[in-house]
């Protein structure tokens, strides 16, 4: 009897505690920026989201940290900047370090019912993601105890980039009235795609209200904190995948009911706007704070809702790694007005040729017009090599079209943001300087890159120690790809020797440099054959084979004749993982035409 009484009391105590904790619901949508009526967009038709915002707090300077879904969602689930985990490249699928728990694990272990409907797309592999259920039917309604607090995520995919390409059965927005950014050419394709994009936002609006109605119908509106966010910039080209503000800036709206106003920030008011810098790395600590759970010490972000808020951060950081089949590496920092972009491959354009992105009519038309020489300077910039540093003033140039990095009047701002970026990379142990083929070695062995490469950092410091190793050799030749002709000429003998380097990714980048710049036909041919040998798969690791294939494509696009062996590379192979099935075949098509 005594035992039964204790059980009843324990159950009552648990429910009493549960009743004091808020339910938390996230409603997210893919591939769109703050193109909503509540953000001042007069072309948008989003009445339900606008009404929600009128009773909530709008964050005007929210960012996704990454301009594409998998790295962005990796940031969210981990509470850590993915470059610190070697998980910043698109669909890189790396093991989680031993110390890391996905944040839903903390919620579940604290008694929350956790559901996700249904996109995950994390770059991190782990045995426990923390979800009671993650599927197309996952729902907070499925919890076994109606008194149990819940954390539920609903992801709307109807705004995805791919949906811009589909005909809309009920078009609503007039293409003739579509707002065209200055970097896009004003063509019928561009207008139709922008109108279609806004049509999809209207579909999101209806979906959003359906989720709110479910909470209301269950009588839980007063007990539920709702956060709406979009997962990165628009699916239109130079939105998604672009490391500037048009790729990182997202919609984020938070509603805290009266019952939980003690968890709201001091500037919270219905219909209010906050210019606090918030980003996806802050979502995990914020959600744990709302649930009364201690925030792990290893998190990089800060809570922007909940008790005892930290002061607003002065800067927000972004990153970009490999996009699909194309290597890239960019870092971004903003103070809310100025955006600084550091491009580590300045010889490559922001608009690298990505087969998947080219399926959007605007993209393919824009690219063709560029090749035909029919664009102005602003419209051409996306397809051209960009400088190592870019600086934009969002107050006077919201579309990021005027690079101020060399403007004498802005050198103080440039220096400050450059220093903040370097400090951030050291503080967070950014692994991006380690080429992805090297990061893949521990990954394929089931070891976290963050743990494997921990000895690459200076003792008692977070600074990456390159030394005289393969990493420093790789970047020497990578930097020469954008160097002046005299510097390339002086380095060619060293590059020729490095085409036989024991580290394959060093041999690949050195071979590309030689293939593009060697005057001796036989030396060039040998470099191209080296690239062909590394482009073979499955003889070589997949990402390495892609990098060698991209180097061959660069040579092909430069008008260099490729050897017959390049045209005989086999595209399909059953061992290519599903996330990369299209990468290799589409890449080889580019230089085997």
Task: Read off the tokens for 415.
Answer: 């220096």
Q: Supply the pLDDT for residue 167.
A: 79
- Specify burial of residue 223 (Cβ count, 10 A radius: 0-12, 13-18, 19+): middle
| pLDDT tens profile 269-324 | 999 999 999 999 999 999 999 999 999 999 999 999 999 898 999 999 999 999 99
Q: Supply the pLDDT for residue 461.
A: 66
Length of the chain counted residue by residue? 593
Q: Supply the pLDDT for residue 170.
A: 81
Q: Supply the pLDDT for residue 296.
A: 98
pLDDT band of residue 10 (cuts 50, 70, 90) is: very low
> Is residue 499 in some structural domain?
yes
**Eight-state DSSP code of residue 236:** S
**Which one, of 413, 389, 410, 393, lies nearest residue 401 by Cα?**
393
Active site residue 14: no
> Is residue 516 in some structural domain?
yes
In 3-state terms, what secondary structure has residue 59? Answer: strand
**Positive or negative: CA dihedral 71, 72, 75, 81:** positive
Q: Supply the pLDDT for residue 573.
A: 87
Kindly report the backbone phi and psi dihedral angles of residue 482, in degrees, each rounded to the nearest multiple of 5, phi listed first. Answer: -120, 15
Q: In what order do the strands lie in the sheet with 330-334?
A: 316-320, 330-334, 338-343, 389-393
In 3-state terms, what secondary structure has residue 124? Answer: strand
The pLDDT of 389-396, averaged and rounded, is 98
432 and 71 Cβ atoms separated by less than 8 Å: no
Most confident segment among 4-18, 433-447, 451-465: 433-447
**Which one, of 126, 171, 158, lies nearest residue 28 by Cα?**
158
User: How far is Cα 571 from Cα 54, in angstroms, rounded to an integer?
Assistant: 53
Q: Is the bond preceding residue 538 a cis peptide, omega within 30 degrees?
A: yes
CA 188 to chain centre: 29
The pLDDT of 347-356, averaged and rounded, is 97
Q: Supply the pLDDT for residue 14.
A: 41
Q: Supply the pLDDT for residue 453.
A: 92
CA angle 94, 98, 101 (to 5 degrees): 85
> Is residue 548 in some structural domain?
yes
- What spatial distance separates the first Cα and last Cα of the chain, rounded to whole Å? 82
CA 281 to chain centre: 11
Q: Is the pLDDT of residue 3 over 90?
A: no
**Which one, of 334, 430, 432, 325, lies nearest residue 391 by Cα?**
334
Separation in Å, CA 539 to CA 133, 348, 565, 570 = 39, 27, 15, 11
493 and 501 Cβ atoms separated by less than 8 Å: no
Which residue range is the domain that position 531 belongs to?
466-591
Q: Supply the pLDDT for residue 457.
A: 75
Q: Is the pLDDT of residue 466 over 80?
A: no
Pair type for strands 113-117 and 150-156:
parallel
pLDDT band of residue 18 (cuts 50, 70, 90) is: very low
**Positive or negative: CA dihedral 255, 261, 265, 268:** positive
CA angle 379, 384, 385 (to 5 degrees): 145
% of the chain surpassing 70 pLDDT: 95
DSSP H or E segment with residue 248 = helix 245-248
> Who has greater pLDDT, 279 or 11?
279
- Specify burial of residue 20 (Cβ count, 10 A radius: 0-12, 13-18, 19+): exposed
> Which residues neighbour 501 within 8 Å (Cβ) at sequence distance 6 or greater?
470, 473, 507, 510
> Is residue 100 in some structural domain?
no
Query: CB count, 10 Å around CB of 220?
Result: 17
Q: Is the pLDDT of residue 593 over 80?
A: no
287 and 24 Cβ atoms separated by less than 8 Å: yes
pLDDT band of residue 459 (cuts 50, 70, 90) is: low
Maximal CA-CA distance, the chain: 93
Beta bridge partners of 464: 457
Average pLDDT, the chain: 94
> Is residue 491 in some structural domain?
yes
**Eight-state DSSP code of residue 96:** P
The pLDDT of 61-88, averaged and rounded, is 98
> Is residue 489 in some structural domain?
yes
Q: Is the pLDDT of residue 465 over 70?
A: no
> Is residue 517 in some structural domain?
yes
| pLDDT tens profile 104-132 | 999 999 999 999 999 999 999 999 999 99
Number of domains the chain contains: 1
The pLDDT of 197-204, averaged and rounded, is 97
Query: CB count, 10 Å around CB of 497?
Result: 11
| pLDDT tens profile 238-260 | 999 999 999 999 999 999 999 99
38 and 46 Cβ atoms separated by less than 8 Å: yes
CA angle 166, 39, 43 (to 5 degrees): 45
Q: Supply the pLDDT for residue 168.
A: 76
The pLDDT of 560-566, averaged and rounded, is 97
Task: Read off the tokens for 512.
Answer: 């590309």
> Is residue 321 in some structural domain?
no
The pLDDT of 405-430, averaged and rounded, is 97
| pLDDT tens profile 136-147 | 999 999 999 999
> Which residues neighbour 443 within 8 Å (Cβ) at sequence distance 6 or greater?
86, 92, 93, 94, 95, 449
Q: Which residues of 265-377 form beta strands (DSSP E)?
A: 272-274, 278-279, 316-320, 330-334, 338-343
User: How far is Cα 297 from Cα 351, in angstroms, rounded to an integer?
Assistant: 38
Q: Supply the pLDDT for residue 464.
A: 65
């Amino acid at each position: 009897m005594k035992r039964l009484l204790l059980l009843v009391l324990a159950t009552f105590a648990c429910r009493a505690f549960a009743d004091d904790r808020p339910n938390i619901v996230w409603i997210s949508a893919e591939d769109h920026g703050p193109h909503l009526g509540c953000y001042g967009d007069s072309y948008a038709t989003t009445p339900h989201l606008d009404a929600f915002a009128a009773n909530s707090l709008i964050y005007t300077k929210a960012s996704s940290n990454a301009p594409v879904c998998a790295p962005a969602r990796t940031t969210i689930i981990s509470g850590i900047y993915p470059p610190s985990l070697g998980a910043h490249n698109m669909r890189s699928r790396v093991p989680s370090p031993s110390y890391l728990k996905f944040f839903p694990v903390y919620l579940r272990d604290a008694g929350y019912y956790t559901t996700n409907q249904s996109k995950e797309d994390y770059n991190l592999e782990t045995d426990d993601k923390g979800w009671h259920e993650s599927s197309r039917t996952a729902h907070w309604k499925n919890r076994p105890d109606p008194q149990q607090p819940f954390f539920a995520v609903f992801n709307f995919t109807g705004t995805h980039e791919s949906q811009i390409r589909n005909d809309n059965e009920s078009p609503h927005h007039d293409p003739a009235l579509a707002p065209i950014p200055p970097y896009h050419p004003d063509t019928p394709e561009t207008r139709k795609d922008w109108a279609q994009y806004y049509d999809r936002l209207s579909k999101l609006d209806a979906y959003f209200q359906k989720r709110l109605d479910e909470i209301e119908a269950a009588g839980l509106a007063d007990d539920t904190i709702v956060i709406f966010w979009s997962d990165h910039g628009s699916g239109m080209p130079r939105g998604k995948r672009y490391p500037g503000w048009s790729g990182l800036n997202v919609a984020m709206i938070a509603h805290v009911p009266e019952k939980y106003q003690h968890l709201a920030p001091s500037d919270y008011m219905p219909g209010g706007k906050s210019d606090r810098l918030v980003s996806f790395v802050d979502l995990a600590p914020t959600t744990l704070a709302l649930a009364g759970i201690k925030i792990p010490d290893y998190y990089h972000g800060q809570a922007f809702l909940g008790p005892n808020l930290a002061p607003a951060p002065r800067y927000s950081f972004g990153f970009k790694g490999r996009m699909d089949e194309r290597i890239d590496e960019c870092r971004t920092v903003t103070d809310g007005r100025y955006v600084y972009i550091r491009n580590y491959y300045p010889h490559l354009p922001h608009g690298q040729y990505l087969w998947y992105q080219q399926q959007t009519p605007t993209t393919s038309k824009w690219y063709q017009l560029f090749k035909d020489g029919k664009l102005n300077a602003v419209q051409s910039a996306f397809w051209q090599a960009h400088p190592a540093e870019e600086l934009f003033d969002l107050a006077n140039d919201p579309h990021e079209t005027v690079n101020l990095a060399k403007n004498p009047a802005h050198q103080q701002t440039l220096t400050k943001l450059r220093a903040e970026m370097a400090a951030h990379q050291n503080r967070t142990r950014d692994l991006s300087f380690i080429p992805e083929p090297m990061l893949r070695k521990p990954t394929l062995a089931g070891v976290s890159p963050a743990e494997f490469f921990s000895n690459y950092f200076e003792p008692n410091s977070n600074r990456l120690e390159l030394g005289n190793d393969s990493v420093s050799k790789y970047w020497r030749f990578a930097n020469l790809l954008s160097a002046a002709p005299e510097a390339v000429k002086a380095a060619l003998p060293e590059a020729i020797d490095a085409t036989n380097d024991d580290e394959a990714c060093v041999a690949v980048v050195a071979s590309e440099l030689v293939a593009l710049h060697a005057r001796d036909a036989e030396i060039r041919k040998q470099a191209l054959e080296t690239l062909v040998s590394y482009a073979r798969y499955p003889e070589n690791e997949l990402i390495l084979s892609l990098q060698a294939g991209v180097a061959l494509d660069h040579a092909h696009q430069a008008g260099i004749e490729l050897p017959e062996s390049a045209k005989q590379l086999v595209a399909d192979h059953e061992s290519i993982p599903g996330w990369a099935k299209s990468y290799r075949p589409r890449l080889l098509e580019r230089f085997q035409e």
